[in-house]
Structure 1
Amino acid sequence: MNKSFLHTVVLLTAYDPPGPLNYVFFILCLLMFVLTLSANLLLILVIHSDSNLHKPMYILLLNLALNGLVGSCAVCPAIMENLLRDQQLISYGGCLLQVLCVNVYATCAYAILAVMAYDRYISICKPLEYHSIITPCKVQVLVTLSYCVPVTLLSVQVYLTSRLPLCTFTINKLFCDNLAVVKLSCVQSAFVNLYGLFITVSLVLFPFLLVLVSYMKILSVSWKASVESKRKALSTCIPHLIIFINFSISILFSVLYNRTSAVSAHVNHLNSVQFIFIPPLLHPLVYGIRMKDIRRSIAKTLKCILTR
């Protein structure tokens, strides 16, 4: 980081002054945060402790839950604190750390959802070859890449952003993101913009196309199958699509807000809140509760806890 900005603070201007409405939002955020932590930790505990759930799809769900905890813990406590403060200040270093955590949360979730789409494609389109293609070793490699590639590329991006000189110190957002921080700079760096485009293509567009192709093939195969097979395919794929589409829309709104005036500030703030609070809570609910094996294991785990 540029040492001249080491002790610089950034002002987040999206918050209203402290008042009754802020306290209501604080309580709602706290409730959502506690529910998110509880649901994801329970899902992680259940999948980790039940050997019957040590299968590719459930391992991917466990990692999606872990990633949801990263996103929630990186932003939610800061939002709740800012709702109660007179001035919403954050150190420049803290702002860059928040950028890294938010981007890692979003892109790792995108990567894991892409791997899940690939898993569903093999399961539905090549069921007889599933266990020979989706091996534990391959799942481990794909999950590792889903973390390592985004973390490495995004760490470089945040480093490049930290080298830019600053001219302004206010961000009209609830929390920091990379495009907003880049816009604080006095200069436009062609290399930083080019690298940002590379990040978008490799960590957003590529997984999006992978999911799109997977589901086109799934639909093609399901269309020719029996009614029961179609029902099972839809039951398996719709929850995944709902969450993937939600992530895609959130990322699109964020890019449009930072790059153009096509999205109003209020719409972007609402989008930011749902992007951080809703997906990490929906993941364990949409996936976990709908799957019979996980429901059965949750009931067994809760029974053991309550009878102790």
Structure 2
Amino acid sequence: MENSTVGRDILMLEGLNVTSLSFIPSFILLLIVYIFIMVSNLGLVVLTFRSSGLHQPMYLLLCNMSINDVFGASIIIPQVLRDLLTSDSERLIQYVDCAVQAFCVHLHASASHTVLMIMAFDRYVAICNPLRYATIMTHRMVLGLSMWAWAVSFLMVGFLVGLSVRLSRCRWIILHLFCDNASLFSLSCESVLINNIYGLGYTVVLLGSSIGSITLTYLRIAMVCLRSKNKALNSKALQTCATHLAVYAILLVSGFIIVILARFPRLAVHRKVASVMGHVVLPALNALIYGLQIKEVRQRVLALFHKNKVASMDGN
């Protein structure tokens, strides 16, 4: 029945179950959020590169996160928007495109952790070794750390998806809104023991190094702040660290929710919603949190709006 519906290299995606009354509001809301994600995150990147005062390691590393958020949202949201307007029988995707999408989905998730790890390292050097900060966090170091964050993610995810692509296929339906690694190897009737072992190891290494390094980093920062009597230093450290930890906590919670829901087939609908929210809410919240909480960014944004307002008034 499946083979008569689709070709050998064509897969069918399950859509998001929405009623005829709610699909239009869902489409409009998702489109608005996607536009906000693109404008806010790309705006932060443009603002950082155009303002010489923001050419500091922390803001250059923040650009990595904004670019990753745009990347992650663009992998999923346009497809979900298209599928909301498409009938069940027309939600088709080429196997090669599915594999590429799975790779990009996991690359985005992995880079989210590795980028936050190097941002934590930057805060550690800034607060615990302020006198050596300029000599340690040079532009060359920032570039090297950024390349490391993306290269490690690329290699780990490449091997993860590669193990799934090597398998033969006996099924043609993706039981999800989009393609991920679990969707790929679930298409096979072969043994996926190696995939599960590597997938578990990949998760343990990524989350273990992420949680461990960030926990140790902020414990050291907390100890320095407790010993310091400089209220200005402690206030600034608390502000920047609280922002970073809030973003990291949201990332962890959303990731764990998706993983837990995947273990319960009866909650497949909830997993779909949680997966979409992970690619919608996180990028939008990251732009809001950093845009509103970081004083320098907030001041630049307000100054830009004020400049545009004055220019429009002069033009009238």
| Fold equivalence (TM over 0.5) | yes
Q: How many residues align?
A: 303
Structure 2 partner of 1:75:
76
What secondary structure is seen at the aligned counterpart in 2 of 1:264?
helix
Describe the superposition over 1:266-303 as per-residue Cα deviations: whole angstroms up to 9, x where unpaired. 33223212210011112222112322222222234445
Kept in 2, the 8 Å contact 1:6–1:92? The answer is no
**Partner-residue secondary structure (3-state), 2:221:** helix
Residues of 2 paired with 1:192 and 1:273: CA distance? 24
AA matched with 1:241: L
Q: Distance in 2 between matches of 1:267 and 1:168?
A: 23
Structure 1 stretches of 4+ with a deviation exceeding 6 A read: none
Larger Rg: 2
Residue 257 of structure 2: aligned partner = 253
Question: What's the offset of the Cα at 1:232?
Answer: 2.6
1:224-245 CA deviation, whole Å, 9 max, x = no partner? 3345544332211112111111
Contact between 1:46 and 1:301, CA under 8 Å: does it hold in 2? no
CA RMSD of aligned residues (A): 2.3
Corresponding residue of 1:277: 280
The answer on whether the counterparts of 1:150 and 1:203 sit within 8 Å (CA) in structure 2 is: no
CA distance in 2, matches of 1:247, 1:262: 23
Cα pair distance change 1:271/1:16, threshold 3 Å: closer
| Offset from partner CA, 1:51-95 (integer Å, 9 cap, x none) | 111110000111111111111111100011111111133222222
Cα 1:89/1:18, change in 2 over 3 Å: farther
Structure-1 separation of matches of 2:214 and 2:232: 23
Equivalence for 1:94: 97
Amino acid at match of 1:133: I
Question: Could you tell me whether the CA contact under 8 Å between 1:13 and 1:172 is conserved in 2?
Answer: yes
Query: Could you say which residue in structure 1 is the equivalent of 2:117?
Result: 114
AA paired with 2:133? Y
Which residue of the partner structure matches residue 243 of structure 2?
239
Counterparts of 1:40-55 in structure 2 under 5 Å? 40-55=41-56
Moved more, 15-24 or 66-75: 15-24
Which deviates more from structure 2 when the two are superposed, residues 238-247 or residues 77-86?
A: 238-247
1:225 equivalenced with 2:228 (yes/no): yes
CA distance in 2, matches of 1:162, 1:42: 37
Q: What's 1:293 paired with?
A: 296
Structure 2 residues not aligned, in runs of 5+: 1-5
Question: Would the aligned equivalents of 2:103 and 2:158 in 1 still touch at CA under 8 Å?
Answer: yes
Contact 2:243–2:293 under 8 Å retained in 1: no
Distance 1:170 1:213, change over 3 A: same
Equivalent position SS for 1:90: strand
Mapping of residues 66-215 of structure 1, within 5 Å: 66-87=67-88, 88-215=91-218
C-alpha distance in 1, partners of 2:238/2:27? 38
Q: TM-score normalised to the size of structure 1? A: 0.90
Return the TM-score normalized by structure 2: 0.88
Question: Is 1:28 the counterpart of 2:29 in the alignment?
Answer: yes
